[in-house]
Structure 1
Amino acid sequence: MIQEPLLLVLVALALGMLIGLQRGWHERNTRAGGRIAGIRTFGLLSMAGAMAALLAEPLGPGITIGIGIAAALLLGLAHWLDSGEDHDFGITTVVAGIVTYLLGAMTILTDLTLPVAIAVLTTIVLHFKQTLHHALEHLSDREIRGILQLALISAVLLPVLPNQNYGPWGALNPYEIWLLVVLIAGISLAAYFAMRLTGPDKGVIITSLLGGVASSTALTLSLARMNARLPLPRLLACGILLAATIMYPRILLEVAVVNPSLLGALWAPMTAMGLGCALMATWLWRTREPFGNVDTSHLSAEPFQLMPALQFGLLLAVIMLLSHGIKAYMGEQGLWLVSIVAGLTDVDAITLTLARMAHDTISQETAVTGITLAAITNTLVKGGLALFAGHWTLCKRLWPGLILAVLLAMITLMLT
């Protein structure tokens, strides 16, 4: 049986050779001996990192650092000699070699999941050089600024916000509210790039599918505001209905995880609502406007839209206060009313809550009705958001599909 240290060293060798495979392929036309490092060198670099990490226990951590510095100096010297010959001053291979050495050490010092993931990501970044360079050449100043602004509000501001409840009834959680602000702004930026790369037609559908998995409500707000800059109400309404369609199987999946016994009564209203939205989305897609006749120049006016996301965050905070107040004053008797109020913002939290309570606190019928009411409310909210952030031209295409879904849910709820 292979001993664990030897197995880890072999893993390090495999990870290094994976990166070396890409580097060797990239420089496959270089004469023999003309490459700084190839598949063998990268494999040995990673294995050296693993061996240095193993030696750190008897000899101290200085051995790992010392060997790493020596490897970096050797790579730097090889690059200097090579650049003098072909005048190529890029240091990608040198940096990749240093990363490979560190990966080898990480296979010994950490869980294997992290170095394996980093090795795959490194190989992907190295391989898509031309794609990345091509994207950079075609990004405008506004687009770069939009990406940096999204990074600021997500990677810098979000982590420092307190993830705990404040205010009356502990209703306001700054981290959760700002997370939704980031989500809405991110969906808007993703929609912009999807439409820029594939055209409004396919871009809206791609964004709706991804946005529907994350938050169909946030997706609705983003597409509704886009209607002012991209007058394609049938296409945008189709996207909103498609995102809504995804919400219902997501509810069933959450219930299946928490309390599978509810699925027998819940699948009918959720399936009916999903079919209603899907049918109307299909019809709108087949009768959508030819976007080639629409001026899309306004689309790139401002890729990053923070203010609409902030407005929605403020609205969310108000609704959170309202729902917690109803819970505090009405208790169990107001459970269905709480479901309706909770559905104004999000169906996931009330779905998980009622599914858990149905184990021993409330009846299954009460839980199923509450979850369905929350889904109906959230479906109608999408129509309200479309009117609030969009235009009547969008609403008159969107509302029939939402109303059909609600009617089907109510019918199935009464029949079951």
Structure 2
Amino acid sequence: MTETLAFANAAAALGIGLLVGLERERRKGEGDRRDFAGLRTFAITSVLGYLAIQAGGPLLLGGMTLALGALVTVAYWRNLDKDPGITSEVALFAVLALGALCASAPGLATAIGVVMAGLLASRQALHHFARNQLTATEMRDGLVLLIAALVVLPLAPDRFLGPYDAINLRNLCTLTVMLMAVGALGHVAVRTLGTRYGYALSAIASGFASATATVATMGGIAAKEPINLKVVSAAAMLSNLATVTQMGLILAAVDPALLRWMWGPLVCGMLMVLLYAGVLMFPRPRARVDEPIKHGGAFSLKLALTMVLAMAAITVLSSAMLDAFGQAGVTVTAIFSGLLDAHASTASIASLAKGGFVPFDGVAVPVLMALSSNSLSKCVVAWLSGGRRFAGYVIPGQVLVTLAMWAGLLLPSLSA
């Protein structure tokens, strides 16, 4: 059994060397410009790393690394005037390390080897992306997003403070990162698919994180790109598909029987969203709207911070109203909490019904009240982020979707 595992690990080391070496062999050139390492060199180096760690441990592997370093240095200086790059040299050291890693973790070593071979094979595409497609502004925005997500967010305290203990800095930082990520997702989608389909798909996907944040992001884009106003407005409306879908999933997760009283509003809401967005997205075009964005940032940090502060203010207001009136009724609570998030209200109402505090047939009205107040928030956000013209498309759509869902209350009663 031990010998079988040893052969398998050695085969993994050989496979990594052959894979990377095959890619390098295709690029080593011919004649005077021929590189020093190809298919056989990489394969032997990988197996050498495996044998060194097996026979002599880290000490022998270190000696092999020093010897390889001396050979690579000589080869590099001999070819310095022809090709100053060191990709093959660094890849050779990596193959030696991966061969040694195959002795203890062949699966990890193989995965890293495949990724490394893919990076080497994608040289032209990566160079073209870095030099011709990625702008300085996009690079800056990417770094800001990574700093916010990987440095600031983990350091934010996860506790409630401020008026009524309603402010949670971790939640606010999470929302800020989410807003920036939504903008970046939409930017990438548009650069890849064009404005019409890129905005739509990114809005639906990001709507599962926050439809209100998606409306804010699309409003910022509409302010910068008035030529794509209708397409961006349609994308903002399509984020409602995520809202309605999540509401249905929450109700089904708490108790599938709740869908008996909510399937009508959910279906009517989805149909109205698709109809209204389709009218905006597919008019008779007078000019091309499918050209991808070539300039501009991936997101607006100022818009993200503004929206986070607005959300925090709504949270404090909701907490103040609940503190002043107490549990005056599930509907009143749903209205104020729905200003911030319709899904949290839906979950709480469904939980009350599951616990027997609210009858199942009394769930629909509070849930729709929460959704109506959330639609009001989206209308305000649309006006603040995108201006009058953007709001002129989004607000009527939100009103129609809300009315369609209220009208959907008639369907369960008719079917009963």
Provide the C-alpha distance between the structure 2 equivalents of 1:227 and 1:403, rounded to a whole number of angstroms: 20
Contact 2:237 2:398 in 1 (8 A): yes
Partner of 2:199: 204
After TM superposition, give the deviation of residue 171 of structure 1 in Å.
1.9
2:268 aligns with one of 262, 266, 272: 272
Relative distance call for 1:39 and 1:352 in structure 2 (3 A) is: farther
After TM superposition, give the deviation of residue 37 of structure 1 in Å.
5.9
Provide the C-alpha distance between the structure 2 equivalents of 1:377 and 1:50, rounded to a whole number of angstroms: 68
1:398 aligns with one of 394, 398, 414: 394
Partner of 2:345: 350
Written as runs of structure 1 = structure 2, the 5 A alignment for 1:13-412 is 14=12, 17=15, 20-28=18-26, 30=28, 36=37, 38=39, 41=42, 45=46, 52=53, 63-64=57-58, 66=59, 69-70=62-63, 72-73=65-66, 75-83=68-76, 84-85=78-79, 87-96=82-91, 121-138=115-132, 139-231=134-226, 232-287=228-283, 290=286, 292=288, 300-360=295-355, 362-363=357-358, 364-412=360-408
Structure of higher CA gyration radius: 2
Residue type matched to 1:25 in 2? E
SS at match of 1:162: coil
Contact 2:265 2:405 in 1 (8 A): yes
**Unaligned 5+ residue runs, structure 2?**
none
After TM superposition, give the deviation of residue 88 of structure 1 in Å.
3.5
Provide the C-alpha distance between the structure 1 equivalents of 2:141 and 2:222, rounded to a whole number of angstroms: 20
Contact 2:199 2:232 in 1 (8 A): yes
Contact 1:36 1:75 in 2 (8 A): no
Provide the C-alpha distance between the structure 1 equivalents of 2:371 and 2:279, rounded to a whole number of angstroms: 23
Relative distance call for 1:160 and 1:18 in structure 2 (3 A) is: same
Contact 2:49 2:98 in 1 (8 A): no
Contact 1:347 1:374 in 2 (8 A): yes
After TM superposition, give the deviation of residue 221 of structure 1 in Å.
0.5
Residue type matched to 2:280 in 1? L
Relative distance call for 1:129 and 1:290 in structure 2 (3 A) is: farther
Residue type matched to 1:36 in 2? A
Contact 2:222 2:386 in 1 (8 A): yes
Relative distance call for 1:301 and 1:369 in structure 2 (3 A) is: same
Provide the C-alpha distance between the structure 2 equivalents of 1:209 and 1:19, rounded to a whole number of angstroms: 43
Provide the C-alpha distance between the structure 1 equivalents of 2:51 and 2:356, rounded to a whole number of angstroms: 54
What percent of counterpart residues are identical? 24
Between 1:262-271 and 1:120-129, the stretch displaced more is: 120-129
Provide the C-alpha distance between the structure 2 equivalents of 1:29 and 1:9, rounded to a whole number of angstroms: 30
Relative distance call for 1:51 and 1:74 in structure 2 (3 A) is: closer
Residue type matched to 1:125 in 2? L
Contact 2:23 2:120 in 1 (8 A): no
Contact 1:235 1:289 in 2 (8 A): no
Q: How many residues align?
A: 404
Residue type matched to 1:244 in 2? N
Relative distance call for 1:260 and 1:129 in structure 2 (3 A) is: farther
Provide the C-alpha distance between the structure 2 equivalents of 1:346 and 1:372, rounded to a whole number of angstroms: 12
Q: CA RMSD in A?
A: 4.0
**Unaligned 5+ residue runs, structure 1?**
none
Relative distance call for 1:91 and 1:365 in structure 2 (3 A) is: farther
Provide the C-alpha distance between the structure 2 equivalents of 1:8 and 1:361, rounded to a whole number of angstroms: 62
Relative distance call for 1:280 and 1:25 in structure 2 (3 A) is: same
TM-score (structure 2 length as normaliser): 0.79
After TM superposition, give the deviation of residue 240 of structure 1 in Å.
0.7
